Amino acid sequence: MKYEKLAKDIIKNVGGKENVSDLSHCVTRLRFKLKDTSKANTDILKNMDGIVTVVESGGQYQVVIGNHVPDVYAEIATAGGFQTASEEKSDEKTGLFNKFIEVISGVFTPTLGVLCATGMIKGFTALLLSIGLLTSTSGTYVILNAIGDCLFYFFPIFLGYTSAKKFNANIFIGMGIGATLVYPTFSSITASGQPLYTLFSGTVIESPVYLTFLGIPVILMNYTSSVIPIIISTYVGSKIESFFKKIIPSVVRAFLVPFCTLLIVVPLAMIFIGPISTWAGQLLGEGTLSLYNLSPVITATLMGAFWQVFVIFGLHWGFMPIIINNLSILKYDPILTGSFAASFAQTGVILAILLRTKNIKLKSLSIPAFISGIFGVTEPGIYGITLPRKKPFILSCIASAVGGSIIGIMGTKTYVFAGLGIFGIPSYINPEGIDSGFYGAIIGMIISFILGFLLMFFGKFKDDEVKIENNEAVKTEVLVKQETVISPLKGNVISLTEINDEAFSSGALGKGVAIEPTEGKVYSPVDGVLTNVFPSGHAIGVTSVNGVEILIHVGKDTVKLKGKHFTPIVKQGAEVKKGDLLLEFDINAIKEAGYILTTPVIITNSHNYLDVIETEKKSISFNEDLLTVVI
């Protein structure tokens, strides 16, 4: 019950349990799938004790907790009753890439703990074999190797389970599909039998046929350790199962739905889905290898430099199927190796901050962040320490890039999916023995840590000054600066995603909100300069004294009015104050002309800032806070 209050506060501020359609967690984050993200109080959550920060990425609303996230997750799941939440659907539309990231994270996240554990065991077993403490014929080696191989060898069964949960299907049907793909008899047929004939002779996909199903040739593939075939097959199976649930009477549905589903999806998987997706996986493996072979150093350097950025936005999940596919097809992965230096570079920077800062709170944050960073969990350090201060984060990326380049020069490869941080060391041990690639990983790890420390320790460092009064630490400098943008209009506030204008709704032009105006006046939202007044008068741009650029675009397609019904009050280039009248427009006349007056108010240079936080109000008046720009 330690986190009961925190759990209830989180549920309340994500919009209530009725706003949650799915909930999972990874190493440090709660991953919500919200029906309407506009109902979440992001700014409140970010400032809540026990929460590091909030990230919206990959179609997920991610609340970063830290190393104790499993305990908080358990409290939230109990308090909110989210065990069946994944059966509900979200009303919010997500892009194809976000949907892909969401599916991949949902399928792989539950397996990561055991996947890392078995990978570490396999790596240590290879180490013991290479230094002569074990022989390949000893019982100890056989058993340890079996533990290391157990999950990866039967991966389709485990992924059948997680995929079925993700696609809202019967988990045992998913496991059944996976078990069929790795059924031992199929391997023995290809090993000892004679092919009936060969398909696609003389091509790169030439395939011997050992058996048929109802006269249809079946191309037997090796599906042990595979990823793509089972995920696609389970997805297809979920659709078939859903169809039969609708037409089969409930009295016999419990056994007839699995009966009909398996009879259809398994042959489809064996005849079509499996071979095609396996070939696609082989092409993917060869493609990534070709990219790596073009320049191992550049590839590893870029992975080192940007891996932490990928983690921030949740994009690292996009590499997951590529990495595991490479381990299955190539028996090694050359892509992930460059990222190994990232956590150590970040940890080195945090250690330097820990030693240099006199800020009591920053020092107290740095200690646990340093410890967790050694073990590869860097989110507390990234969100709580380096990213808000920008320069330390950039220095860690530079140090990581250098470490990655060393790893690339040494030709380091990943042979198993092992743990994070120092627990990842066994993954670089070649099953045939320790080679230069393993030493490259160690050197890259050490260099990135030392360089991150030195760059931060001897570089310019503007400490977060504190003064002690009555035994309390009082900040004299705000760690993260903010600028408040007041509402330039009076009306109803709606999310950008709800407006029928892709340029604004997609966020391509910047973050912000839209307002349905109830009064035809536009006031300055900040102190600054009126940098742009469009000739048609329908849109104006204001730049604040801190450089925040705000665009106010009155209506959709109102440029076609060519200035009619719009009256600019202030000329372009003029200095303005908050609340100065900038523009008047005739609401009724514009509506009668057939135009929609929904007005986006966006921060066009929002990519320069940590975040843009929207108001929670549904209706707003002039001079009320509309947006908060985190500088």
Is residue 398 scored above 90 in pLDDT? yes
Neighbouring CB atoms inside 10 A of 17's CB total 15
Q: Which of 25, 316, 538, 553 is catalytic?
A: 553
Residue 508 burial (10 A CB sphere; 0-12, 13-18, 19+):
exposed
253-267, 343-357, 384-398: the lowest-pLDDT one? 384-398
Tell me the β-bridge partners of 246. Answer: none
Binning pLDDT at 50, 70 and 90, where does residue 486 land?
very high
Neighbouring CB atoms inside 10 A of 204's CB total 8
558 contacts: CB under 8 Å, gap ≥ 6: 536, 538, 566, 590, 595, 597
* Pairwise pLDDT comparison (419 vs 575), residue with the higher score: 575
pLDDT score, position 442: 95
Q: What mean pLDDT is reported for the chain?
A: 84
pLDDT score, position 396: 94
pLDDT score, position 472: 37
Please count the CA atoms within 13 angstroms of the CA of 108 that sit on its side-chain side.
24
- Residue 434 is encoded by which pair of tokens? 């320790």
Q: Which of 25, 26, 116, 397 is catalytic?
A: 26
pLDDT score, position 577: 92
Tell me the β-bridge partners of 217. Answer: 212
Binning pLDDT at 50, 70 and 90, where does residue 225 land?
confident
455 contacts: CB under 8 Å, gap ≥ 6: 349, 352, 395, 398, 399
The CATH classification number of 4-94 equals 3.30.1360.60
pLDDT score, position 242: 93
pLDDT score, position 597: 92
Quick: pLDDT tens for 61-114. 888 887 677 888 888 988 887 754 343 444 445 556 567 767 777 787 788 778
Query: Which range in 363-367, 460-464, 490-494 is most confidently predicted, on average pLDDT?
Result: 490-494
pLDDT score, position 448: 96
Quick: pLDDT tens for 250-264. 889 889 999 999 999
pLDDT score, position 313: 65
Residue with tokens 């994070």: 420
Task: Outline where 201-357 has alpha helix (H).
Answer: 228-247, 253-268, 274-294, 296-312, 320-329, 342-356
pLDDT score, position 237: 95
Question: How many angstroms separate the CA atoms of 575 and 542, rounded?
Answer: 9
Amino acid at 378: T
Question: How many angstroms separate the CA atoms of 33 and 24, rounded?
Answer: 9
pLDDT score, position 86: 41
DSSP for residue 597: -
Q: Is 173 left (phi over 0), alpha (psi -120 to 50) or beta?
A: alpha
- Residue 432 is encoded by which pair of tokens? 């045939």
Residue 256 burial (10 A CB sphere; 0-12, 13-18, 19+):
middle
pLDDT score, position 469: 36
Question: How many angstroms separate the CA atoms of 449 and 466, rounded?
Answer: 28
Where do the CATH 3.30.1360.60 domains begin and end in the chain?
A: 4-94
User: What average pLDDT does the segment 378-393 reach?
Assistant: 81
Q: Which CATH superfamily is domain 482-630 in?
A: Glucose Permease (Domain IIA) (2.70.70.10)
User: What average pLDDT does the segment 525-548 reach?
Assistant: 89
Q: Are residues 24 and 109 in contact, defined by beta-carbon separation less than 8 angstroms? A: yes
Question: How many angstroms separate the CA atoms of 85 and 314, rounded?
Answer: 22
Is residue 295 scored above 50 in pLDDT? yes
- Backbone phi, psi, residue 14, to 5°: -95, 10
611 contacts: CB under 8 Å, gap ≥ 6: 42, 629, 630
Alpha carbon 193 to its chain's center = 45
Inter-CA distances, 503 with 167, 313, 357, 562, Å = 31, 21, 44, 21
pLDDT score, position 446: 96
Q: Collapse the DSSP code of 203 into the 3-class scheme (helix H, G, I; strand E, B; otherwise coil) and give the result.
A: coil
Quick: pLDDT tens for 109-139. 788 778 778 878 887 888 788 788 888 889 9
pLDDT score, position 613: 86
Q: Collapse the DSSP code of 515 into the 3-class scheme (helix H, G, I; strand E, B; otherwise coil) and give the result.
A: strand
Quick: pLDDT tens for 4-50. 888 888 999 999 888 888 887 766 778 888 888 888 998 888 888 77
* Pairwise pLDDT comparison (310 vs 462), residue with the higher score: 310
Q: Are residues 325 and 227 in contact, defined by beta-carbon separation less than 8 angstroms? A: yes
Where do the CATH 2.70.70.10 domains begin and end in the chain?
A: 482-630
For residue 26, indicate whether it is catalytic: yes
* Pairwise pLDDT comparison (449 vs 537), residue with the higher score: 449
Question: How many angstroms separate the CA atoms of 282 and 331, rounded?
Answer: 12
* Pairwise pLDDT comparison (311 vs 77), residue with the higher score: 77
For residue 397, indicate whether it is catalytic: no
Please count the CA atoms within 13 angstroms of the CA of 57 that sit on its side-chain side.
20
Task: Indicate the angle between helix axes 253-268 and 171-181, nearest 10 degrees.
Answer: 30
pLDDT score, position 585: 93
